[in-house]
Amino acid sequence: MSTKAARKAPAEAAPETPEPADADSRIYQAIFDGVLNHRLTPGTKLPEPELCNLFGVGRAVVRRVLEKLAHDGIVALRPNKGAVIAEPTPEETSQIFEARRAMERVLVELAVERATRDDICDLRRQLADEHDAMHRFDQPSWARLASGFHLRIAALARNPVLQRYLTELVSRCSLIVGLYEPPGHAPCEHDEHAAIVACIESRDAAGAVALMEAHLRELEQRIETSRMQGEKSLAQMLGLPQKPGRNP
């Protein structure tokens, strides 16, 4: 019995080491959220040593995550220069908005068909949170809630495949807004969101689709070629505490 216990000891100790997949997900989500909330703007450098230090992982893990982010269009990998947050071109901007309009058209139609009374109540709470953030002049919260509104409607369609595609498009639009939209503008207009919710509640699919189409076209038309520059550290932009030193 003691021999069996001795043999099992190494296996029992193994769970104390985090699974690589957990570390991958943690790093990916931190960078993804940084983009979605406009803390990480296009062109921001993502040095491998600093990411290793911030997340307490080796370079193999960081490189694997950066490659996945590059595959999803969020990061650009530059030979001999490292990774940076992607900088969409004007042509890519037009293509991404075109794809997003088509995707949200389908998702809004499904949301009108499938949303429950509780879902509508959740959307109303979302609108209230947006209103509060707007009147507090809390731009980071407002940006997060504005993107979250679109993803919440996508969730009401109850189609995880379409929802996943929209999540990628919304993150890429957040990059574009961070790069091109004039400072001080909200990424979405609260009143437009409220009108869309009213149509969903009244089961007016055509009205909801038309409003969403106009809403996204208005957002695209506000895009300019001036870039917002930031001077925060990578840790701040990722929403993480700063750590002294870095991994070799």
- Residue 142 has a pLDDT of 74
Residue (of 58, 1, 69) closest to 33 by Cα position: 69
| Interval 110-159: pLDDT, tens | 999 999 999 999 999 999 999 898 888 776 777 788 889 999 999 999 99
Q: Residue 81: CB partners within 8 Å, gap ≥ 6?
A: none
Residue given tokens 């969903």 in the structure block: 200
Q: Which residues of the chain have pLDDT under 50?
A: 2-19, 225-231, 245-248
- Indicate the average pLDDT of the chain: 83
Separation of CA 101 from chain center: 17
Residue given tokens 């969409």 in the structure block: 88
Domains along the chain? 20-85 (1.10.10.10), 90-225 (1.20.120.530)
Q: Is 147 exposed, middle or buried (0-12, 13-18, 19+ CB in 10 A)?
A: buried
CB atoms within 10 A of CB 156: 22
Q: Are 1 and 38 in contact (CB under 8 A)?
A: no
List, in sequence order, the alpha helices (H) in the chain.
2-13, 20-36, 48-55, 59-71, 90-114, 117-135, 139-156, 160-180, 190-201, 205-221, 234-238
Rounded to a whole number of angstroms, the distance between the first and last alpha carbons of the chain is 45
